[in-house]
A and B are shown apart, each in its own frame.
Chain A
Amino acid sequence: MTRKKRRLILIGASVGVLAVATALVLGALRDSIVFFNSPTDVAEKSVSPGTRIRIGGLVKPGSLERGDNLHVRFAVTDGKTDISVHYHGIVPDLFREGQGVVAEGKLEPGGTLAADTVLAKHDERYMPREVVDALKKAGRWQEDEGKISR
């Protein structure tokens, strides 16, 4: 086997593997990523039902209802718009009314989010960044509040 041929095989194999990887990455990026929205975004962008999304905001005070068998309903608000969420399972320890929350799931017709994941902040000292951004967008974020986190 000549030097040239060996080099060609090496380069060919590398290009082949990279091409496969690129195809995998592009395919996965199309199908398996989830966009993050604030409640206002969901309302304004008219996200189509059945789409998987992530929303962030505060758990609206007074909206939390605990049903039987670990069914939970609550509304996520950015101060402007509310989105109602239902979830079956155990909510995180720091999940409380008036606190930041991120929920991921499928948007149902009628604009309710069927969440399969609910995340709350895991430290008293800060909010999930996505929540902060959502609140900032809606103009409901005060820097002082953020200062508490330091």
Chain B
Amino acid sequence: MIPELGHYALVLALGLGLIQSAAPVSAARGGDSVLMRVASSTALMQFAFVALSFLALTFCYVTSDFSVATVFENSHSQMPLIYKITSVWGNHEGSMLLWVLILSLFGALVAAFGSNLPATLKTHVLAVQSWIACAFYLFILLTSNPFLRLAPAPFEGRDLNPILQDPGLAIHPPLLYLGYVGFSIAFSFAIAALIEGRIDAAWARWVRPWTLAAWVFLTLGIAMGSYWAYYTLGWGGFWFWDPVENASLMPWLAGTALLHSAVVMEKRNALKIWTILLAILTFSLSLVGTFLVRSGVLTSVHTFATDPTRGVFILAILVLFIGGGLTLFAWRASTLKQGGLFAPISREGALVFNNLFLTTACLTVFVGTLYPLALEAVTDEKISVGAPFFNLTFGPLFVALMFVIPFGPLLAWKRGDLLGVAQRLMTAFVIGITAVAVTFAIKGSHSILTPFGVGLALFVMFGALTDLVERTGLFRLPFATVRQRATGLPRSTWGTAIAHFGVAVSMLGIICAGTWGTERIIAVKPAQTVSLSGYEFFFDGLVQRPGPNYNALVATFTVRSAGVPVGIMEPSKRSFSARGMTTNEAALMSRGLGQLYLSLGDSNNDGSIAVRIYYKPMVLLIWLGAVVMMLGGALSLSDRRLRVGAPKPAAKSALAPAE
């Protein structure tokens, strides 16, 4: 009964979506305000029904109702409750349902909080949002119905893929989807603007908070996924340039560019058409990501099942929305009023530079991700594009971008003084150069690039701080004035500085862990000691330890630093009988910002077991940096100027000085 209820609720959501797609658009044409208001109600109701459907599916999982095919395939009665819940989206069907749940959530949020939007714009935005939603409702109902029943019902489920039986599954996909799908709002706003043929600074002010919110979630989602891969795959790596990872990085890069270009549009009424295009592209890349992951063209942990009809269906959605969006753009963009041009040396100029590098970097990732697929389709030749490719292409572009980050916020709008800014950045620059020299002196020159990387990261950090120090008058003015100024400073200024600081923190972590990390792969016997980077690992032995639905083989290591015990590390291998699979549970121990990392390999006949031991200095900075970035974004999001929305559209542009 419950599964049918969920199924029915989803069909109803589709029905509402169809109404929302069509009626308000015609109403907006005729100026019928009553009909236009329908869109808000349907958006809220759509969310209610999708949520009901999602709850119904969750109920099936929690109660282990194996008459439902997806529950049978992906759950097990003995799993802990948390995994029963997370396995709702630990499979293709359920994760698509989560996708539309979040899509409808964003639609409902626009309906609920968009009261200051012009009625026609809001109507159009909700209609476009509903087009996307309908396409995905249809996709779920026609190709991936999560409520399909089995008769007779099996007694036991086939268990969730053990790799996914991890708290990471509870956090990573929902956050990532909030980011991915959140960009749909920017897309809908862009399409609505193109339909109306009108766009102004106010538009950017409405779009920016939505984009920022999506960006905040995506940042955290990617970082979380990276940390999960780090501790669960047993390789000690945090980013593999795997196509699925790239699929999430591309919308992030484009979204970051969009955030910055929307600022130019909002403040200076320029870069309008570019911003629209970026909004379309950002969500298009989210769709491409969904296609790559869900269609089965790639095989990875994320690809739960491969079914050609699904791939074709998603491809059709992709072509429809990306093709449709870009066609509409090509057709209507010329009717939009061009924004002004500006001097190259200015805040706007710096932001253009940012956009140029972010989109180009995104393009290289795109090429590296899709080239193998294209080549195979055309020539049947199979290649793999891995880390070396991305290090050579994405790396230099990102380094160039990093170098200009500190300049941007210090440059004035309209016409900046590059020399003046360079002088103000002198302290940061000197710190950076000192860092290069110190790193070079201490660590030697086995990689010449590393000291420069460290110096660059510190330059960006102190560059971000310079902005805050100058604006608050720290070190110059009495403390009371500084505090007054600090509280008076717009939150978005704080947000910018903090987010930029975070980027540098992540970069520092990547460089340090990558260059100075050490590793040993060795077969150890009980009572043997292995040493690495000043740590001694004494192998106590192996024990079997049963878990709720698995059996764990646990290796115990006593870790000593300079003879003093600092703790016990217990890497393990879990074997899951339901699927006949083993997973590797690495043991982590944080030492300051670095980590010790142990993961097990095969046990041999002579009683030894293979083990990987890593010492990764500063590795935590990688994810801490992402959290700092996210906090910067969140702080900026809480800025009053953003929240209040756009009370006076386009009034300012009349006062803007002639170019």
Contact = CB atoms under 8 A, between A and B. Distances in A.
A44 interface: no
Nearest to A66: B604
B384 A6 contact: no
A123 B581 contact: yes
B521 A13 contact: no
Interface in A93-128: 93-94, 104, 122-126, 128
Contacts of B397: 17, 20-21, 24
A133 B610 contact: no
B339 to A, nearest CB: 12
A3 B610 contact: no
B393 A28 contact: yes
A124 B580 contact: yes
A10 interface: yes
A6 B344 contact: yes
B438 interface: no
Given A9-B344, A104-B384, A128-B299, A24 B393 contact: yes
B565 interface: no
Contacts of B581: 93-94, 123-124
Central interface residue in B384, B392, B397, by most chain A CB within 10 Å: B384
B494 to A, nearest CB: 30
Given A33-B384, A126-B299, A129-B299, A13 B367 contact: no
Interface string B583-620: 11000000000000000011010000010100000000
Interface stretch (B27-35, B202-210, B352-360): B352-360
Central interface residue in B163, B343, B363, B392, by most chain A CB within 10 Å: B392
B341 A70 contact: no
Classify chain B: how many residues form its interface, as a range: 35 or more
Contacts of A28: 368, 388-389, 392-393
B142 interface: no
Contact of B392 (A27, A89, A124, A125): A27
Given A29-B371, A35-B381, A90-B602, A69 B523 contact: yes
B385 interface: yes
A147 to B, nearest CB: 12
B382 A122 contact: no
Contacts of A43: none
Contact of B396 (A24, A31, A91, A125): A24
B360 A18 contact: yes
Interface of A: 1, 3, 6-7, 9-10, 13-14, 17-18, 20-21, 24-25, 27-29, 31-37, 54, 66, 69-70, 88-91, 93-94, 104, 122-126, 128-130, 133, 150
Given A25-B367, A25-B393, A34-B383, 8 more contacts: A6-B341, A9-B344, A18-B360, A33-B372, A34-B384, A35-B383, A36-B382, A88-B521
12 contacts: A6-B342, A25-B393, A28-B388, A31-B388, A54-B384, A90-B610, A91-B601, A93-B582, A94-B582, A123-B581, A126-B306, A128-B299
Interface of B: 161, 163, 299, 301, 305-306, 341-344, 352-353, 356-357, 360-361, 363-364, 367-368, 371-372, 381-386, 388-389, 392-393, 396-397, 521-523, 573, 579-584, 601-602, 604, 610, 612, 659
User: 10 closest A-B pairs (Cβ-Cβ)?
Assistant: A90-B601, A36-B382, A32-B388, A28-B392, A24-B393, A21-B360, A32-B389, A28-B389, A6-B341, A93-B582
